Structure 1
């Protein structure tokens, strides 16, 4: 237990301002990638739907 306390005294804890900044950066990154993946998913859905229509049209179905 003594070693744990000694080790925790050596830890550099972030300041409240650093925590706030890192949290903001994390939220912005998560929102960016969520929007990016949504757009990519919608494009692939559109592409596959159009490809399916073309195949059905070519095969007369």
Structure 2
């Protein structure tokens, strides 16, 4: 996994956490769900990259 990919995934995760928190504070369930979805996408991308890295070695 390249450093750029790691940074992008980390940024997406942080953004998702912020959206989720904002949604909770404002009572906006849609924004809260969107944040959780962003976090899930980030985790899946990390997992996919880890699998690719495992097969390269």
Question: What is the TM-score when the length of structure 1 is the normalising length?
Answer: 0.48
Q: CA RMSD in A?
A: 1.6
- Where in structure 2 are there 5+ consecutive unaligned residues? 1-23
Greater share of helix residues, 1 or 2? 2
Question: What is the TM-score when the length of structure 2 is the normalising length?
Answer: 0.51
- Bigger radius of gyration among the two: 1
Structure number with the bigger relative contact order (C-alpha 8 A, sep ≥ 6) is 2
Q: How many residue pairs end up in the alignment?
A: 33
- Where in structure 1 are there 5+ consecutive unaligned residues? 1-11, 45-61
